[in-house]
Chains A and B, each alone.
Chain A
Amino acid sequence: MDGGRDMIPPSWIAGLAAILFGIGLWGAITRKNAIIILMSVEIMLNAVNLNFVAGAFLHQDATGWMFAVFSIAIAAAEVAVGLAIFLALYDQHGTIALDEVQVLKH
C-alpha cells in the first residue's frame, strides 16, 4: 500500500457508509414488500462493509478487508435463507406484504 499518494479520506468513506446504512434502515422499517426489505438489509450490510474498508484505510491494517470479505459471504447466505423463508410465508399466507402478516399480534 502506498501511503503517500492522495487517498480518499477515510471519514468520507465512513460518511458514505452511514448514509447508506440510514437508507437501508429506513427501507427495512418502512417498506411492505418482503423482498424490498431484504434488499434494504443488503444495503445495510454493504454499508457495514464500507465501514470496514474505511477502517482498514485508517489503520493501514488488512484485517478490515478480511472482515469485509467474510461479511459479503454471510450476506449471500443470508439472502438465500431469507428468500426461502419468504417462499414459505407466501405458501402460508398468500402474500408477502409484511404488514398483512400479523400472526404474532396479541
Chain B
Amino acid sequence: MTELHPYVVFIPLLPMLAFPVILILGQLFNNREWWRKGLKEGGWIAVITLGISLIFTLLLLAEVWDFETVEGKTYAPDEGHITYTWLEHTRMVETENGSFEFVELDSTHERWSIDFGFQIDHLSMTILFVAAFLCFLIAWFSLGYMNTDESNAGRLHRFYAEFALFSSAMMGMVLADSFLWLFIFWEIMGLCSYLLIGFYYERPSAASAAKKAFLTTRVGDVFLLIGLLMLFDQFGTLSYERMDHILQENGAMLSVDVIRAALILLFVGAVGKSAQFPLHVWLPDAMEGPTPVSALIHAATMVNAGLYLVARMFPIVAAESMLHNLEIVGIIIAWIGGITALMAAAIAFVQMDLKRVLAYSTMSQLAYIFVGLGVGLWAANTGHEELALLSFGAAIFHLFNHAMAKGMLFMASGSVIHEMHHAHHHIDDGDEHDDFDAQSMENMGGLGSKMPITTVAMAIGSASIIGLPLIGGFWSKEGIIGAAWESLLVSGGLVMLVPAILVVLTAAMTGFYMTRMWAWTFLGRPRSEVAAHVKESTPFIRLPLQVLTIVTLLGIVLFGMGMDSTMVDGTFSNHGHDSDHHGFTDIIIGALTGHGHAYNAIVAWTTIFLSSVIGPLYALRIYGRPLPQDEYLPNSFTLITPLLTNRSHYDNSKWANSKVANALRRRLYFDEVYDWAVMKFITGGAMLAALFDKKAIDGLIRKMSSTTLRASNFMRSLTTGRATDYLVMVGLGVMALGLLLLPGAI
C-alpha cells in the first residue's frame, strides 16, 4: 500500500512536533503582539496542525473505504501493517563459508522483538476518526474560549502545547500495532492530563485535583504493566498481529490461567483510566481544569483509551484455544460497568455544578460501553459469535456517539460558563468576586431564550445521552441493552442478569438527571442577576456546537448504514462472518421492533419508555419552570412549553434532604475511605522506610566516615616531628624488608 506510507506516520507526528514548537515560540515571543493576537498564543498552530492530521485521517479512511468497496475484501491487518523493527532477538550462526550471520529464530516461543508499526483496521480507524475530529473541533473551540479570558493571557502557549502533545498521543495510541506502544502513549496521555488539569496551578484545588488524577490512574497503570508483562511472557511479543498468529498456531501451548489473570489486570488499568468503580474518584475533581480540557480528555478521548484497550482484548478472548476459559473476564467487566453506571447516575442526581453532572454522566456512559464490551467478550469466549459481534459493535458505536455528544455537551457547558463569566464582569465591573461560581447551576436559569444555539446543542446532546428515540445515542444504547438482555437467553447467560437490570435502571436515571441539568440551566427564571444578562457566544465557540449537533442527528443515518458492525469488522481473527447487507430501512425498523422477537421488543420499548418518557417528564415536573414573560425558547422546543407551568410543582425537599441524598452529595464517601486507607497504610509504610533510611543507610555511611577518620588520626599521630622517632620507623621498615627479602626468612 504505497499510498499510505507517507502519511500515516504524520497523523500522530505532526501534533507531537507542534508541542515543542508552540512551547519554545511561546517562551520566546510571549509578549509580542503578533503572537498574542495573530497566532492566538500558539492556538492557530495547534488548530492547523490538528486540522492537517484530521485531513490525513479522512484521506486514510477514504482509502480504506475504497479498498474495501472496490476490491471487495476486508482490509486485513497484515496489509495495513507497517513495521520498523527496533530490537530483535536473533542468533548468530556460522555459515558454510566460515563467516557469521544473524538468523531470525522462527519458533514463536524462542523469538521476541520490539517493533513499532501501525495498525490500520476498522476499530482503530473509528477511534482515530473520533479522536482527530474532536481534537480539532475542541482546539477550535479553545480559540474562542481560552483566548477571550483575560486571566489566561500570557500562558496559553503551555495550554496549546500540552493539548497538541495529548492529541498526538491519543492518535498514536490508536494507530499503534502493539500493546507496548499503546502503553507508552497511554502514559503520555496520563502526563498531559495531569498537566492540563493543573493548568491553573495557582489554585490549590486544581493542583490537588491534578495530583489525584495522576495518582489514581497510576494505580491502574501499575496493574496494567504487570498484565502486559505477563502477556509478553506468554506470547513473546505484544504486537496484535503476532499474538493473533500465535493464538491460531500454538494456542494450546499458552497458559490459560496466566492469560486470564493478565487480561483482568489489563482491565484494572482500563478502570483507572476510564474512571470506573473503584478508581473513579479522580474524574469529578478533574473538572478543575479548563472546559476544553474536560471536553477533550475526560469525555471524548482519554477516557476512551481504557475502552480501546478492552476492545483490543477481543482477538485473545475469541480465539479457539481460549474458548470457555476466559469467561470471567467478560463477566467482571460487565459487572463493574453495571455498578459504575448506577452509582454515577445516582451521584449525578444531586450535583449542582454543571460540569460535575457531565463528569458523572461520562462515568455512567462509559460504564455502559464497558457493559457492552463485557457482554461481548463473554459471548465471544463462550462461542456465541453473533451475539459477541452485536454487543461489541453496539459498544463501539456507543463510544462514537458518546464522544460526539459528550464533547458537544462539555463545549456547550463551556459556552454557558463563558457567558456567565462575561456577564459577571459586566455587572460587577472590575470586581474580582471569586466567590461567584459561574459553574454552579444555582446561579443559572432562564438561559434558554438568551443562548439559543447553546440551548439546542445541549438539548440534542442530552437527548443523545438519554437515548431519546431516533437521536444518535439511542441506536447504540438500545444495542447494548438489547445485547445484554439477549445474553440472558443463551446458556449460562444468567450471569449477566445483574448488569442487564442495572443498565435499564440507569437508563431511566439518565433520563432524569440529564433533563434536570438542562431544565435547571435553561428554563425557569434567572436565579441570579448574572444569568439575566447573558448573551450568546463568539463564533469560535458556536461552530463546533453546530457541527456536532448535526453529527449527533446523523446517528440514525450511520446506524442505518450498519456502522455498528462495520466499526468492528475484522477485529476478531476468526470472525469468518459474512456481513449480510440489509437495507437501510430494514435495519432501522429491525432495531425498533426487536428484530421480530417479542422478547427483544419488550426490553427495547420498556427501556425507551423509562428513559425517554418517565425520566425526563419527572425531571421536568420538578425542575421545569417557564421562562419569564416575553422570553421564548427556540422554536424547536414548542412541544415542551405546555409542560412548563408554574403551578403544582412536585416538592422534592423530602428527597433532597434525605440521608441518601446527603451520602450522594458526599460522593458516597469514597474520598474519605481512600484518604483513611492512604493515611493508615501508606504513611505507615513511608515512616518505616524513612526510619530505615535514617538509621540503617545513613548509619552505615556515618560508620564508614568515622572509621576512616579514626584511622587517619592514628596515622597522623605517628608524625611526631622528632627525628629519633623517624629513625625508629626506618629501622622497623628495614627489618621488615629484610625479613621479606631474605630467602627462607618468612
> Is B723 close to A, CB under 8 A?
yes
Q: Contact string, B711-729, partner A, CB cutoff 8 A, digits 1/0?
A: 0000010011111101110
The residues of A that contact B634 with a CB separation of less than 8 Å are none
A105 interface neighbour in B720, B724, B728, B731, Cβ under 8 Å: B720
Number of A residues near B (Cβ < 8 Å) is 14
| Chain B residue at minimal CB-CB distance from A28 | B727
B731 touches A101 (CB 8 A): no
The complex places the Cα of A102 from the Cα of B723 at a distance, in Å, of 8
Please report whether the interface of chain A is mostly helix, strand, loop or mixed according to DSSP. Answer: loop
> For window 683-721 of chain B, which residues contact chain A by CB distance below 8 Å?
716, 719-721
The residues of B that contact A102 with a CB separation of less than 8 Å are 720-722
B716 touches A106 (CB 8 A): yes
The residues of B that contact A98 with a CB separation of less than 8 Å are 722-724
Query: Assuming the A-B contacts A25-B731, A29-B728, are A101 and B723 also in contact, with contact meaning beta carbons closer than 8 angstroms in the complex?
Result: yes
The residues of A that contact B728 with a CB separation of less than 8 Å are 29
The complex places the Cα of A56 from the Cα of B59 at a distance, in Å, of 110
A99 interface neighbour in B716, B722, B726, B731, Cβ under 8 Å: B722
| Chain A residue at minimal CB-CB distance from B723 | A98
| Chain A residue at minimal CB-CB distance from B715 | A106
| Chain B residue at minimal CB-CB distance from A99 | B722
> Is A103 close to B, CB under 8 A?
yes
The residues of A that contact B720 with a CB separation of less than 8 Å are 102, 105
The residues of B that contact A29 with a CB separation of less than 8 Å are 724, 727-728, 731
Number of B residues near A (Cβ < 8 Å) is 11
The complex places the Cα of A37 from the Cα of B728 at a distance, in Å, of 13
B727 touches A105 (CB 8 A): no
| Chain A residue at minimal CB-CB distance from B719 | A106
The complex places the Cα of A28 from the Cα of B723 at a distance, in Å, of 10
The complex places the Cα of A60 from the Cα of B503 at a distance, in Å, of 121
The complex places the Cα of A103 from the Cα of B719 at a distance, in Å, of 10
Q: Contact string, A67-106, partner B, CB cutoff 8 A, digits 1/0?
A: 0000000000000000000000000000000110111111
A105 touches B721 (CB 8 A): yes
B724 touches A104 (CB 8 A): no
The complex places the Cα of A104 from the Cα of B723 at a distance, in Å, of 9
A99 touches B719 (CB 8 A): no
A104 touches B719 (CB 8 A): yes
> For window 27-54 of chain A, which residues contact chain B by CB distance below 8 Å?
28-31, 37
The residues of B that contact A101 with a CB separation of less than 8 Å are 721-723
The residues of A that contact B726 with a CB separation of less than 8 Å are 104
- Minimal beta-carbon separation of A101 from chain B (angstroms): 7
B724 touches A28 (CB 8 A): yes
The residues of B that contact A37 with a CB separation of less than 8 Å are 724
- Minimal beta-carbon separation of A38 from chain B (angstroms): 12
| Chain B residue at minimal CB-CB distance from A104 | B721
The residues of A that contact B719 with a CB separation of less than 8 Å are 104-106
| Chain B residue at minimal CB-CB distance from A34 | B723
The residues of A that contact B724 with a CB separation of less than 8 Å are 28-31, 37, 98-99
- Minimal beta-carbon separation of B33 from chain A (angstroms): 70
The complex places the Cα of A25 from the Cα of B732 at a distance, in Å, of 12
- Minimal beta-carbon separation of B562 from chain A (angstroms): 94
> For window 361-397 of chain B, which residues contact chain A by CB distance below 8 Å?
none
The complex places the Cα of A106 from the Cα of B726 at a distance, in Å, of 13
| Chain A residue at minimal CB-CB distance from B731 | A25
- Minimal beta-carbon separation of A45 from chain B (angstroms): 15
The complex places the Cα of A102 from the Cα of B717 at a distance, in Å, of 13
The residues of A that contact B716 with a CB separation of less than 8 Å are 106
Q: Beyond the given A29-B724, A31-B724, could you list 20 further A-B residue pairs with CB under 8 A, ordered by the A residue number?
A: A25-B731, A28-B727, A29-B728, A29-B731, A30-B724, A98-B722, A98-B723, A98-B724, A99-B724, A101-B721, A101-B723, A102-B720, A102-B722, A103-B721, A104-B726, A105-B719, A105-B721, A105-B722, A106-B716, A106-B719
What are 9 A-B residue pairs whose CB atoms fall within 8 Å in the complex?
A25-B731, A29-B727, A98-B722, A98-B723, A101-B722, A101-B723, A102-B721, A103-B721, A105-B719
> Which 9 A-B pairs give the minimum distances between C-beta atoms?
A105-B721, A102-B721, A104-B721, A106-B719, A98-B723, A29-B728, A29-B724, A106-B716, A99-B722
